[in-house]
Amino acid sequence: MRLDPVRIGLLALLFVVLFLPIVAVGLNAFAVEWAGSILPVGYTWGWFAQMVTDPRFGQAVRNSLILAFGSLLASSLTCVPAILAAHCYYPKLDRLLGGLVVLPYAVPGIVMALGLLRLYAGNYGIVLTGSPWLLILGYIPLGASLYYMPMKSSLNALAVQDLLEAGYLLGVSDLKLQWRVILPCVRQGVVIGLILNFTLVISEFVYSNLLVGGLFPTMQILMYVLRGGSGHLLSVLIMVYFVIVLIATTLVSLIVMRRKEAL
């Protein structure tokens, strides 16, 4: 294939536009000083050391990971069985579910947050105000679509009805069929959903700020707090966040690339 200089130029430009902010933040995290010059004056690990020793950093990372893994557990235990059940046994509900999962994205964040506050502020007998549980439960509807899309893609590639009926003829229960046949077949869709949810929760600011704020500070809250202070420390925090998200998205890419081999 002949290399087209215009195409290469455009791709290079796109690459620069996408990666320049990340490179700039990275350089700022290591810069001794960076003002009035194209590149920093010198480089240091000092900001990293200062950030790591700040008790707020450890607390924010720990809280973010608690939220991420907590919400993964909660959302996977609710969304995955619901999506499987709707697809396999209740096709009419499945169509409804397809509409419901995009609803949280159609509603403004503030409305959703207020709704969650009303729901979990004791009006209906559940009091979770200021607790991470409020976020863990609140992220479930947000995460549902992130399971729904990849799982539906895997499920649609299966002749589910025939597989279930083949199982019934063998005397296999529904639960066993789901566990031994259907779930392994959509495993990659579930894994993609898990990683996307992880990325969503660890990046999320609006709900965590509105619903629990300083009572359960996450990395995003700490970023918000640090915005008025040292830009270098903020850059360090952003880089740590980038690395975590990068690992998650790399995993997604690897899984997506392997999907064709699965079935």
Partner 1 sequence: MSFVEIRDLSKSFAATSVFAEISMEIEQGEVCVLVGPSGCGKTTLLRVIAGLAQPDMGRISIAGRDVLGLAPHQRGIAMVFQNYALFPNMTVAQNISFALEQQGKRGADLALRVAAMIDLMELGPRADARPSALSGGQKQRVALARALALEPQLLLLDEPLSALDAQIRKRLQVEFKRLQARIGFTAVFVTHDQEEALILGDRIAVMQSGRIVQSGAPHEVYGAPANRAVAGFIGNINILEPQTVWQVFGQVTQDAWALHPETISLSATPNTAQIMAQGQITDRLLLGSTVRYTVLVQGVWLSVDVLSRPSLPPLPMGTKVYLEVDAVDIRLLSH
Query: Footprint of partner 1 on this chain (CB under 8 A)?
Result: 158-159, 162-163, 165-166, 168-172, 180-181, 184-185, 262-263
CA atoms within 13 A on the CB side of 196: 21
- Residue 87 near residue 152, CB atoms below 8 Å: yes
> Judged by CB, which is closer to partner 1: 2, or 260?
260
CB-based contacts of 110, cutoff 8 Å, min separation 6? 206, 210
Least distance in angstroms from the C-beta of 45 to partner 1? 47
> Judged by CB, which is closer to partner 1: 62, or 176?
176
Least distance in angstroms from the C-beta of 65 to partner 1? 31
Least distance in angstroms from the C-beta of 219 to partner 1? 37
Among 115, 70, 50, 74, CA closest to 216: 70
* Amino acid letter, 59: Q
Least distance in angstroms from the C-beta of 156 to partner 1? 13
CB atoms within 10 A of CB 214: 10
φ, ψ of residue 127 to 5 degrees: the values are -115, 110
> Judged by CB, which is closer to partner 1: 149, or 181?
181
Distance CA 241, CA 81 (A): 31
> Judged by CB, which is closer to partner 1: 99, or 171?
171
Least distance in angstroms from the C-beta of 150 to partner 1? 17
Least distance in angstroms from the C-beta of 24 to partner 1? 46
Distance CA 255, CA 44 (A): 36
Copy the structure tokens of residue 159.
């002749």
> Judged by CB, which is closer to partner 1: 177, or 221?
177
> Judged by CB, which is closer to partner 1: 95, or 180?
180
